[in-house]
Chains A and B, each alone.
Chain A
């Protein structure tokens, strides 16, 4: 038996009910099960005696692994955009990465500390084991926010989302809307100046004093932001004034939220999620189909009133948070439709609504986030219809006999 195991066994009694630290029992159990697979075995009868090796901890871990390419790319891109804004002509890789790391890490720490803190407290109130749901939320949230979002806002949004989107419903597995998206939407509607416009998507301050200085008053909007404020068919430009092509949007070296600019990295993540069967291919496929269809309709009827309608369907997929939302948010199994038929409908409508919102409502260039949230709310209704069909079949069988 290892020293760590012995240490855990020695301190365990203090955390049991009646012990000095019994108020921290959930926290202790959480760490113990994190470090060692629990020894709990199947009961004696009316049970399977063997269980699959995959549990929800592993499922969440795989989502985090799938997010890593986007995370690392986000670090690089944050540095790259900052160097561009400073007018640099050379882009040293490690300096860019370091700058990106220094820029994002406070946000990650803040969301985890606030979110996990609330999770620990609610687990203890309910006398349950700490659950791993927030591990994914805590990394997604900083990735879908602009890199310059103030830390206190992030903390408030995380607390709001974890308490009101998740814990009041009963915790992991019971929430109706995606927690990270709720936090994102909270920020978007509460502090719109920090969440959109042309000031927040490029890190302009130095990170812990690191990185070149950027001139005061520097602005650069995201591609979708530019389209929304411009009229008619406009060329989208990057920080240095160069045009952003579809290829640039695919690679992802453009201004935008920290983790969602690079379609390549999102595709790598999607490949991991699909290969391990953790996420639903039905949702991803139908969402892309829905966005292409709606993008094509909007593009065929392009008018200068709605500048985003000039975007080609492919650009609709590559720009903004759409790809990230479809791969990592729409597929959240708890808030998505749970029946297979329902997933097709759910995904398709996300695609259609995301493009609709971003095209026909200039105030909300981030349509994907709102589309996923909206469909989260409608997912139970979609499932209800699918389940009703099953019930009807059964009833029809009975009446056809009678």
Chain B
């Protein structure tokens, strides 16, 4: 199957990886699990501070589905359970004792039960709502993306170890028992070999072509009442690895990129690794504030250098300037060639090929003024402007009619980037999905 997406945008940002970028192995001092990274998952702790855990040991499970766990990525001691307001669990920190002892799972169990116990089921997402799936509901299809088109991202195919084919085939074989439909695997043509049992989709196009939701909308869109599971190729590999060895592979390959990084590099580490270890020695020693993003500049989470962690599902760290310490005189009128824009309204910006954007909104929040902006970067049959208005007005019938079941915040990230009214689009979508789920489920 071949899919060509015409709309989209690749942001030209400095600090990309090159073929010569160094590859490092960093053993994290401490790893953390952040329940907020798993929307739809209500955490119930199964460990206490001071407990000793091994790789694959359950740290928490879902209140509604006790079989769905989130597991420890490293072996060591539970160092801290950090809580926020009303005792909400913000994160569980686990100290790495570098022993890499791992639990072995009984692989003869049904696949959903096995994945739930090994912490891999929580890594799947479900459309509608973009949440952790319900293990009791069989999905219509399963969609796997082997692409990451986000700015400065490393292709996930390059993160797979040598000889991953066997694991991928085993995973597809096992997942096929969980659905009556197909398993679609999307890839850049030529990057990934065919996986037996899966329907391979060659995707061409700029970001957000790699977003699984965009692919779903163009291959077999989600209708009301339907359910699909989405995951990426690295998770598929982890499932295969579990099926072949009985152990959870909690290692992760992270691209450390961005304009404020001295030498962009690839780091092999563990899920949830502390940011301090990841960014040690690569941060430009700058005189201005920087923003460390766990993830890419479009959808990631800003983290604190001192107490931040690599957040799920990101395999990327991007460092950009914060910009809150800059005084720019009449910036709205400036035609400086350093300003990144997709509009030809900045006459000199074609002088530059790559840009060093900062985290400023570059303007004030407004009502939607310009029209047709979102359509230019959203390769889905969705009228984003009208859908967003329906979400803001909490009109459930309109949201359904306009296709809210097909979208996730990340699909509309580029809309938020190009928006001249600077609306918080991803937050609007997330709130809308949560609201709808609460009302309807």
Residue contact A34 to B330, C-beta cutoff 8 Å: yes
9-residue interface stretch from A36-44, A88-96, A244-252, A295-303: A36-44
Closest to B376 in A: A277
Q: Chain A residues near B386 (CB, 8 Å)?
A: 387
Check if A35 is an interface residue, CB within 8 A of chain B. Answer: yes
What's the minimum C-beta distance from A44 to chain B, rounded to whole angstroms? 4
Cβ-defined contact, B223 with A56, below 8 A: no
Nearest chain B residue, comparing its CB with the CB of A54? B343
B39's closest neighbor in chain A, by CB?
A: A46
Which residues of B sit under 8 angstroms from A278, Cβ to Cβ? 343, 345, 370
Report the bound CA distance from A41 to B297 in whole Å.
13
Look across to chain B and name the residue whose beta carbon is closest to the beta carbon of A133. B369
B371 touching A333 by the CB < 8 A rule? yes
B416 within 8 A of A: yes
Interface pick from A15-23, A78-86, A391-399: A391-399
Q: Is B343 a contact partner of A41 (Cβ separation < 8 A)?
A: no
Q: Which of B293, B364, B403, B420 contacts A129 (CB 8 A)?
A: B364
Contact indicator B332/A48 (Cβ below 8 Å): no
How distant is B311 from chain A, measured CB to nearest CB, in Å?
Answer: 8
Q: Is A333 in contact with B370, judged by CB distance below 8 angstroms?
A: yes
Contact indicator per residue, chain B 321-341, by CB within 8 Å of chain A (1) or not (0): 011111111111100000111
Taking the closest CB of chain A, its distance from the CB of B410, in whole angstroms, is: 9
Q: Which residues of chain A come closer than 8 Å to B330, judged between CB atoms?
A: 34-37
Contacts of A398 on B, CB cut-off 8 Å? 223-225
Contact between A44 and B302 (Cβ–Cβ < 8 Å)? yes
Shortest Cβ distance from residue B380 to the other chain A in the assembled complex, whole angstroms: 11
Contact A173–B362 (Cβ < 8 Å): no
CB distance from A375 to the nearest CB of B (A): 15
Residues in B whose Cβ lies below 8 Å from that of A51: 357, 360-363, 416-417, 419, 422
* B426 contacts chain A at the CB level, 8 A cutoff: yes
Q: A37-B328, A53-B341, A58-B333 are in contact. Are A42 and B420 (CB under 8 A)?
A: no
Is B89 positioned at the interface, with any CB of A under 8 Å from its CB? Answer: no
Chain B residues, Cβ within 8 Å of A394: 223, 381, 401-403
Question: Are the C-beta atoms of B328 and A50 separated by less than 8 Å?
Answer: no
Q: Are A49 and B367 in contact (CB under 8 A)?
A: no
Are A276 and B345 neighbours in the complex by a CB distance under 8 Å? yes
Query: Once the chains bind, are A50 and B367 in contact (CB under 8 Å)?
Result: no
A46 x B344 contact (CB < 8 A): no
Q: Given A48-B297, A48-B426, A59–B383 Cβ distance below 8 Å?
A: no
Whether B345 and A43, one on each chain, are in contact in the complex, defined by CB atoms closer than 8 angstroms, is no
A124 to chain B, nearest CB (A): 16
Instruction: Encode B32-75 as 1/0 by CB contact (under 8 A) with A.
Output: 00001000000000000000000000000000000000000000
List which B291-314 residues lie within 8 A (CB) of chain A. 291, 293, 297-303
Closest to A170 in B: B367
Task: Verify A48–B298 contact, CB threshold 8 A.
Answer: yes
In contact, B363 and A56 (Cβ under 8 angstroms):
yes
* Interface assignment of A10: CB less than 8 Å from any CB of chain B: no
Q: What's the Cα separation between A187 and B417 when bound, in Å?
A: 41
Interface range, A side: 35 or more
**B324 and A173 contacting across the interface, CB-CB below 8 Å:** no
CB-CB nearest in chain B for A1: B327
Query: A50 and B320: CB pair below 8 A?
Result: yes
Tell yes or no: A275 within 8 A of B by CB: yes
**A127: CB under 8 A from chain B?**
no
Q: Report chain B residues within 8 Å CB of A170.
A: 367
Chain A residues closer than 8 Å to B344, beta-carbon distance? 275-277
Query: How far does the Cβ of B207 sit from chain A's closest Cβ, in whole Å?
Result: 12
Question: In B337-384, which residues have CB < 8 Å from any A CB?
Answer: 339-346, 349, 357-364, 366-372, 375, 381-383
A277 near B345: Cβ-Cβ < 8 Å: yes
Q: Separation in Å of the A53 CB from the closest CB of chain B? A: 4
Chain A positions 328 through 354: 1 when the CB is less than 8 Å from some CB of chain B, otherwise 0:
000001101111100100000000000
Q: Which residues of A contact B375 (CB under 8 A)?
A: 340
Is B371 a contact of A38 with CB atoms below 8 Å?
Answer: no
Note all chain A residues with C-beta closer than 8 A to B427.
43, 46-47
- State in angstroms the CA–CA spacing of A390 and B381 once bound together: 8
Tell whether B110 is near chain A: CB-to-CB under 8 Å.
Answer: no
A275 to chain B, nearest CB (A): 6
Whether B204 is near chain A, meaning CB under 8 Å from some CB there, is no
In the complex, are the beta carbons of A49 and B320 less than 8 A apart? yes
Q: How far apart sit A33 and B385, CA to CA, in the bound complex (Å)?
A: 27
Chain B contact residues (Cβ within 8 angstroms of A): what range?
35 or more
| Residue from A4, A42, A333, A339 having most chain B Cβ neighbours under 10 A | A42
Q: Which residue on A lies nearest to B223, using beta carbons?
A: A398
Question: Do A53 and B424 contact each other (CB < 8 Å), given the known contacts A173-B367, A390-B381?
Answer: no
Between B341, B359, B364, the greatest number of chain A beta carbons within 10 A of the residue's beta carbon is seen for B364
Chain B residue numbers with a CB within 8 Å of A216 are none
Query: Across the interface, which residues of A come within 8 angstroms of B293, CB to CB?
Result: 49
Asked if B362 contacts A390 (CB within 8 A), the reply is no
Of A41, A55, A393, the residue contacting B420 (CB under 8 A) is A55
B329, A334: Cβ atoms closer than 8 Å = no
Assembly CA distance A43 to B324 (angstroms): 12
Complex-state Cα separation, A46 to B295, whole angstroms: 11
Cβ distance B406 to chain A, nearest Cβ, rounded Å: 9
Most buried by A among B345, B358, B383: B345
Supposing A37-B362, A47-B416, A173-B421 touch, asked if A53 and B367 sit within 8 A by C-beta, the answer is: no
Residues from chain A with Cβ under 8 Å of B409 in the complex: 46
Confirm or deny: A172 has a beta carbon within 8 angstroms of a beta carbon on chain B: yes
Partner of A50, one of B329, B370, B382, B417: B417
Q: Chain B residues near A34: list those with CB within 8 A.
A: 330, 332
Within the complex, which residue of A45, A52, A338 is in contact with B385, where a contact is CB–CB below 8 Å? A338
Give chain B residues whose Cβ lies under 8 Å from the Cβ of A49.
291, 293, 297-298, 300, 302, 318, 320, 359
| A280 close to B371 (CB less than 8 A) | yes
A171 at interface (Cβ–Cβ under 8 A)?
A: yes
Say whether A237 faces chain B, with CB atoms less than 8 Å apart.
no
The interface residues of chain B lying within 8 Å CB-to-CB of A33 are 364
Q: Is the CB of A59 within 8 A of B420?
A: yes
Q: Which of B340, B358, B371, B427 has the most CB of A within 10 A?
A: B371
**Could you give, for residues 153-175 of chain A, a 1 whenever the CB lies within 8 Å of some chain B CB and a 0 otherwise?**
00000000000000000111110
> What 0/1 pattern do residues 380 to 402 of A give for CB contact below 8 A with B?
00000001001101110110010
Cβ of B407 under 8 Å from chain A: no
User: By the criterion CB–CB under 8 Å, are B328 and A56 in contact?
Assistant: no
The digit string for B409-441, where 1 denotes a CB below 8 A from any CB of A, is 100011011111110101100100000000000
Q: How far is the CB of A126 from chain B (nearest CB, A)?
A: 12
How long is the Cα–Cα vector from A171 to B329 in the complex, in angstroms? 27
**A2, B372: Cβ atoms closer than 8 Å:** no
**Chain A to chain B contacts (Cβ below 8 Å), 17 pairs:** A34-B330, A37-B331, A38-B364, A41-B324, A43-B424, A46-B409, A50-B298, A53-B340, A55-B362, A57-B332, A276-B345, A333-B369, A340-B375, A343-B372, A387-B402, A390-B403, A397-B223
**Closest 5 pairs (CB-CB, A-B):** A55-B363, A173-B367, A37-B331, A53-B339, A338-B371
13 further contact pairs, Cβ within 8 A, besides A46-B409, A170-B367: A2-B329, A37-B331, A37-B363, A38-B364, A42-B359, A43-B427, A54-B343, A54-B362, A55-B420, A56-B421, A387-B383, A387-B386, A397-B221
B residues in contact (CB < 8 Å) with A: 11, 13, 36, 221, 223-225, 291, 293, 297-303, 318, 320, 322-333, 339-346, 349, 357-364, 366-372, 375, 381-383, 385-386, 401-403, 409, 413-414, 416-422, 424, 426-427, 430
